[in-house]
Amino acid sequence: MKKPELLAPAGNMEKLRMALLYGADAVYLGGKAFGLRAFGGNFDNDELKTAVEFTHSLNKKVYVTVNIYPHNSDMERLPEYLKYLDELGVDALLVADLGVFSYGKKYAPHTELHISTQANNTNWVAVNTWADMGAHRVVLAREMSLDEIKAIREKCQVELEMFVHGAMCISYSGRCLMSNYMTGRDSNRGSCAQPCRWKYSLVEEKRPGQYFPVEEDERGTYIFNSKDMCLLPYLPDVIESGVDSLKIEGRMKSVHYVASIVKAYREAIDSYFENPSSFTIKQEWLEELDKVSHRAYTTGFYYNRPTDKDQIYGSSSYEQTSDFVGLVIDYDEKTGFATVEQRNNMKIGQEVELFQPKLSGFRMKLTEMYDDEGIAIDVAPHPQQIVKIKMAKPVEPYAILRRDI
């Protein structure tokens, strides 16, 4: 059985580095135009070049999203951008629109074409049709069961990709009109305002101004607010479905989120392939998934048709069990001090956990901390302040310091 690729989101260069260093085989990202995350940070042309060079230096892959549903004006600017991506040597373009697909073949002939989940592929005939036209991979719609995915695998030779973790959308495979209607921001061109996460009550047309709770809760209800997908506890079923790539959602999520989710899935996938017959889900992986900001988890459509239990009606709040407080920039083996960039309040006496790309994690109390002038300090109060911290054990660059909430 072929080990599936672990594909992670990269909203900016820092998240790209963290995703790859913490175990992703490939990353997907967007340029400043033509992608579906206009507010995800994204990469300008120079940053795209740096991203491709860094990713390829690790013998890993980078895919660029060109998955908007374009209008005529978009198509006029597209050829030059596709040529640039082709020249950079990106490994694939993620597309949803047939016109963009056609332009991809014409203007980026050396680059693989992957069909985005936005194209709503839910059957083997559609998947094979894309393959016949030249697609190298199809990202399956999230509104499918694992049995349906297995059936597609049996009838299709093209690579298949499926989502295994992250936010779900109330609209079919993310194709939504609510944002456009309510705010003028077109979700299908990258500018979703996420109105599905807003607070709603019921209004009867002849009683304007009177708001009635849908549930017995005076705050109203979040009737479109889905739980987050999480398939790590069901990893054997996912792998045995035969898909080629397991995708984590979250280009707009934090550095802490990307590192933690990627490492949990990386360790789980590797553990499965070491000995499939004796594989078990480790509690530490599940705890890792809870440490980052997320909504309650669900399996989405993969086992059963979703019910009210897969929605969150009472709030739009997130939950997590730890806070990201610092990022290791460098470590001096002679002195045992690490150079750390502060990301949240840190002070002497706090217990923190060191979470690392390769080395084992550990817990310690902060006992010594110095500012950039070498003056001892009790607290690092300034955003992204650079400090020196005494470490109980060796650490590596890009290790994360976090504290329990």
Is 403's pLDDT higher than 70? yes
Average pLDDT over residues 286-306: 88
Give residues with Cβ within 8 angstroms of 356, minimum separation 6: 395, 396, 398, 399, 400
- For the ranges 39-43, 261-265, 373-377, which has the lowest average pLDDT? 39-43
Alpha-helix residue ranges (DSSP H) falling in 123-223: 124-133, 146-155, 178-183
Q: Which helix (H) or strand (E) holds 76?
A: helix 72-88
Position with higher pLDDT, 364 vs 167: 364
pLDDT for residue 33: 81
Least confident of 5-14, 99-108, 163-172, 225-234: 163-172
What is the mean predicted confidence (pLDDT) over 315-340? 91
Which of 49-53, 67-71, 237-241, 268-272 shows the lowest per-residue confidence on average (mean pLDDT)? 67-71
How sure is the predictor about 192, in pLDDT bands with cuts at 50, 70 and 90? confident
Share of the chain above pLDDT 70, in %: 86
pLDDT, position 168: 77
Q: Is the Cβ–Cβ distance between 24 and 11 less than 8 Å?
A: no
Residue 220 pLDDT:
45
CATH fold of 323-404: Elongation Factor Tu (Ef-tu); domain 3 (2.40.30)
- Among the residues of 136-277, which ranges form H helices? 146-155, 178-183, 235-240, 255-274
Report the mean per-residue pLDDT for the chain.
Answer: 89
- Strands (DSSP E) contained in 88-244 are 92-95, 112-115, 137-139, 159-166, 228-230
Residues 152-179 have a mean pLDDT of 82
Residue 213 or 304, more confident: 304
**pLDDT digit string (tens) for 42-91?**
899 999 999 999 999 999 999 999 998 888 988 999 999 999 999 999 99
**pLDDT at position 101 over 50:** yes
Task: Please identify which residue in the block is written with the tokens 């997590």.
Answer: 320
DSSP 227: P
pLDDT at 42: 83
* CATH fourth-level superfamily of 5-173+225-310: Copper homeostasis (CutC) domain (3.20.20.380)
B/e letters for 250-289, b = 16+ CB within 10 Å, e = fewer, are bbebbbbbbbbbbbbbbbbbebbeeeeeeeeeeeebeebb
H-only helix segments in 184-277: 235-240, 255-274
H or E segment at 288?
A: helix 283-291
* Residue 219 pLDDT > 60: no
| Percent of the residues in the chain that have a pLDDT greater than 90, as a whole number | 70
pLDDT at 46 (0 to 100) = 95
Instruction: State yes or no: pLDDT of 316 exceeds 60.
Output: no
Task: Please check the confidence at residue 187 and state whether its pLDDT lies above 90.
Answer: no
Domain boundaries, the chain: 5-173+225-310, 323-404
Report which listed range, 139-148, 172-181, 218-227, is most confident: 139-148
